[in-house]
Structure 1
Amino acid sequence: MPASYAGLRKEACGIREFFLYSVQEGLLFGILALGVFITFRCLNFPDLTVDGSYPLGAAVFALTMYRGYGPVAGVVSALAAGALAGLFTGILHTFSRIPALLSGILTMICLYSINLRIMGRPNISLSENLGHRTIFVILRDAFPTVPEVYVRFLFLFALLVVLKFLLDAFLQTEIGLSIRATGDNETLVATQGINPDDMKLIGISLSNALVALSGAMFAQYQGFVDINMGIGMVISGLASVIVGEVLLRGKTIFVMTLQVIVGSVVYRLATAVALNWGYSIGFKPYDLKLFTGILVIVILSFPVLKEKFGKA
C-alpha cells in the first residue's frame, strides 16, 4: 500500500509539473498573442511579419548578450528591433501602397536573412558562460530554495499581467481609441482629422514589439535561439485569439485582452496534451502545425456551418 501511494504521489507530481510547464508556455506565447490581437482585431490588419519578428527578438537578444550586455539591455533591444520590423511593414503598406498580406510576407522574407546575419549561424546556445545570465537564471539563483518551475511561473504570470494592464490602458487613450477606430472604419477616422496611416504605423510597430519580446523571453526560457523558431507563429497567435473568444464573451478591452491570454494558455495546454498523449493514435510532433491549422479552420468555419445547417 505505501509503495502504491508513493507511485500515485509521484504520478500526481508529474501531472502537476506538466500542467505548470504547459501554462508557462501559454503565458510566454500570451505576449505574442497580445501582439497578434492588436493587428488582427484592433487594426483589422492581417500581419504576417510575426513569423519574422518573433525570431528577430530572440536573435537580437542573443547578440546583445554575446556583446557583453545584460538581459535587460537585450530585452529592450528586442523590443526596439520588433518595433522597427513592424514599422517597415507599415511603411510598405501605407507609403508604397503594397497590400497588407504582401507587406508582411515581404518583411518576413527579408527578416529571415537579417536574422541569420545577426545570429551568424542557424542556432545559438544561451549558455551561462556568456558573462551575463538570462533573466530566468537570475531568478533561479535569487530563490534557490523555491522550485524553478514555480519561480518561472510566478514571474511570467506577473509579467503578462503587467503587459495586459499596460495595453488596456494604452488602448483607452486617444491614440489607442484611434487605432481601434481605424480598424473599424478607416474612412470615418479620416473625416475626423486623424491620419489612419499613422495609426497603422503605431499599431503594427507596437504589435511586433510585443512579438519580439515574446521571442526574446522564449529564447531565455528554452536556452537557445533557432532561425526557424518563428515558423507558424502567426497562426499560433491567431489560434490563441480565436480560442479565447470562444471561451469568454465580452467586448470591453479588459475582457478582450483577457480572452487572448486565456486562449493562449488553453491552446498550449491542448497542444501539450496532444504531443504527450496523442502517440496512442499516431500523433507525432511534426503534426502540431497540422493540428493548429485544422483547429483554426474549424473555429472560423463553425459560425458559417452553424448558420447553413441551422437553416436546413
Structure 2
Amino acid sequence: MFTALFGSVEQGIIYAIMALGVYLTFRVLDFPDLTVDGSFVTGAATAAMMIALGYNPVLATLMAIVAGFIAGCMTGLLHTKGKINPLLSGILMMIALYSINLRIMGLSAENAIVKPNIPLMNSDTIFSQFQGFWGNLGIDDAMNSFIRETLGFQSAPSTWGTVLLVLIVTVIIKFIADWFLKTEVGLAIRATGDNKRMIRSFSANTDSLIVLGLGISNALVAFSGALIAQYSKFADANMGIGMIVIGLASVIIGEAIFGTKTIFRTTLAVVAGAIIYRIIYAIALRIDWLDTSDMKLITAVIVILALVIPQVVDKRREKARKAKRRSERLGEQNVAQGGNHLA
C-alpha cells in the first residue's frame, strides 16, 4: 500500500507541472484551452522520439517544451488572428495534434512510418541518470532503512532519486511561475484575463499576451508529458485523453482545500491538488469492485465532488453567518426594549 501511494505522489508531482499550465489558461487568462490533451502527448512524443534516436534526455525534454510552446501559440493565433472561438480553437488544435503526434513518433522508426507508441524500456532517461546519481550517494538505502525500521513497512520503494528530482523541478517551476505572474508581463496577462477591454485602454497588445500565455501554459503541459513518458518508459498517442479534466480537478481540489488569497498560495494549492488527486485516484482503484477501466468514471466523480462539496460548505457557512447576525440583531433589539421599559 505504501509503495502504491508513493508512486501516486511521484506521478502527482509530475502532473502538478501540467496542472500549473492549466491554471495559467483557465484561471489567469480565463481561456478554456482544450489543447492540453494534444500538447501533453506532443511533449511525450517529442521526448520519446529523440531519446529513441539516441539524443540526450535533457535535450529531448527541452525540445518537448519548445514543441508544446509552439502548439500553444498556434491555438492563440487561431483565436486572436483567425477570430475563432476560444473553445473551438483549442478543439481544432487538439484534433490537429493527434495526427502531428503520430508523425512525430513515426520519426523514431525506419522510413518514418506512423507509430502509435514508442517504448523506452531499454533507453536512458532523465530519471535513470539521476537515479544512479542518488543511488551512489546512498540516499535510497538510507531512506528505505528508515521506512522499514521507523514506520514498520516491509516493502519500500527504491526510487527516492526520482521523487527528489521531480520535487525539485516542480518547486522551481512553481516559484518561477510566482515570479513571472508578478512581473510587468505577468500582471498584463492577469489583467487580460480579468478585463480585456480595460487592459486595451492602456494600449496593451492583448492578442500577443494571449498567445504568450497559451504558449507558456502548453510548454508546461508538454514538459509534464515528456517527464511522464520517461517515468512510464513509453509514449502513446492516446495518453493525453482526459488530461484537461485531470488538470482542472487538480486546480479545483487545491483551491477548495487551500484557498486562493495570494499567487503563492494559489500555485501551491494547484501543486498540492495534483498530488491529492493522484492519491485519491490510487486509493479508489484499490476498492475491490472498481477496475482500471473505471479510470474516467473515477476522474469524473472526483471532479464533481470537488465542485459540489465547496458550494455546499459555503452555503452552510453563509446560513450560519446569517443566523448569527439574526441572533445578534435580536439581542440588540431586546437590550434596546429593556432600556425603554426601564426609562
What residue is the counterpart of 2:118 in the other structure?
A: 124
Q: Which of 51, 58, 61 pairs up with 2:37?
A: 51
Per-residue CA deviation, residues 154-185 of structure 1 (Å, 9 max, x unaligned), is: 11111111010111111100000011111111
Aligned to 1:225, the other structure's residue is in SS state strand
Distance 1:16-1:306 versus aligned 2 partners, 3 A rule: closer
Q: Superposed, which structure 2 residues align to 1:137-152 within 5 Å? A: 137-144=128-135, 145-147=138-140, 148-152=158-162
Q: State which drifts further: 253-262 or 296-305.
A: 296-305
User: Aligned residues: percent identity?
Assistant: 47
Find the aligned partners of 1:297 and 1:243 in 2 and give their Cα distance. Answer: 10
Find the aligned partners of 1:214 and 1:304 in 2 and give their Cα distance. Answer: 31
What residue is the counterpart of 2:193 in the other structure?
A: 183
Q: State which drifts further: 60-69 or 236-245.
A: 60-69
| Higher gyration radius (CA) | 2
What residue is the counterpart of 2:10 in the other structure?
A: 24
What residue is the counterpart of 1:70 in the other structure?
A: 56
What residue is the counterpart of 2:293 in the other structure?
A: 286
Per-residue CA deviation, residues 220-278 of structure 1 (Å, 9 max, x unaligned), is: 10101111000000000000000001110232110010010010000000001111x21
Distance 1:285-1:193 versus aligned 2 partners, 3 A rule: same
Q: Which of 253, 259, 284 pairs up with 2:269?
A: 259
Deviation at 1:293, TM superposition (A): 1.4
Per-residue CA deviation, residues 59-113 of structure 1 (Å, 9 max, x unaligned), is: 0011212333201110110000000000010001111111111100000000000
> 2:33 corresponds to which letter in structure 1?
D
What residue is the counterpart of 1:221 in the other structure?
A: 231
Tell whether 2:126 aligns with 1:135: yes
Deviation at 1:286, TM superposition (A): 1.5
Aligned to 1:34, the other structure's residue is in SS state helix
Distance 1:220-1:307 versus aligned 2 partners, 3 A rule: closer
Tell whether 2:29 aligns with 1:39: no
Aligned to 1:124, the other structure's residue is in SS state strand
Is the 8 Å Cα contact of residues 53 and 82 (structure 1) preserved in structure 2?
yes
Per-residue CA deviation, residues 9-43 of structure 1 (Å, 9 max, x unaligned), is: xxxxxx33222211101101000000000000000
Aligned to 1:46, the other structure's residue is in SS state coil
> 2:68 corresponds to which letter in structure 1?
G
Q: State which drifts further: 244-253 or 263-272.
A: 244-253
Find the aligned partners of 2:247 and 2:301 in 1 and give their Cα distance. Answer: 14
Is the 8 Å Cα contact of residues 20 and 149 (structure 1) preserved in structure 2?
no
Find the aligned partners of 1:152 and 1:102 in 2 and give their Cα distance. Answer: 38
Q: What's the TM-score once normalised by structure 1's chain length?
A: 0.89
Tell whether 2:283 aligns with 1:273: yes
Find the aligned partners of 2:245 and 2:72 in 1 and give their Cα distance. Answer: 17
Deviation at 1:292, TM superposition (A): 1.3
> 1:201 corresponds to which letter in structure 2?
V
| Paired residues, number | 291
Deviation at 1:304, TM superposition (A): 5.5
> 2:60 corresponds to which letter in structure 1?
G
Q: Which of 88, 96, 100 pairs up with 2:74?
A: 88
> 1:140 corresponds to which letter in structure 2?
Q
> 2:207 corresponds to which letter in structure 1?
D
Deviation at 1:294, TM superposition (A): 2.4
Q: What's the TM-score once normalised by structure 2's chain length?
A: 0.81
Aligned to 2:118, the other structure's residue is in SS state strand
Is the 8 Å Cα contact of residues 31 and 214 (structure 1) preserved in structure 2?
yes
Is the 8 Å Cα contact of residues 14 and 224 (structure 2) preserved in structure 1?
yes
Distance 1:290-1:194 versus aligned 2 partners, 3 A rule: same
Q: State which drifts further: 208-217 or 291-300.
A: 291-300
> 2:253 corresponds to which letter in structure 1?
V
Find the aligned partners of 1:53 and 1:198 in 2 and give their Cα distance. Answer: 20
Find the aligned partners of 1:127 and 1:215 in 2 and give their Cα distance. Answer: 17
C-alpha RMSD over aligned residues: 1.7
What residue is the counterpart of 1:105 in the other structure?
A: 91
> 2:95 corresponds to which letter in structure 1?
I
Is the 8 Å Cα contact of residues 31 and 160 (structure 1) preserved in structure 2?
yes
Q: Superposed, which structure 2 residues align to 1:223-242 within 5 Å? A: 223-242=233-252
> 2:169 corresponds to which letter in structure 1?
L
Is the 8 Å Cα contact of residues 17 and 149 (structure 1) preserved in structure 2?
no
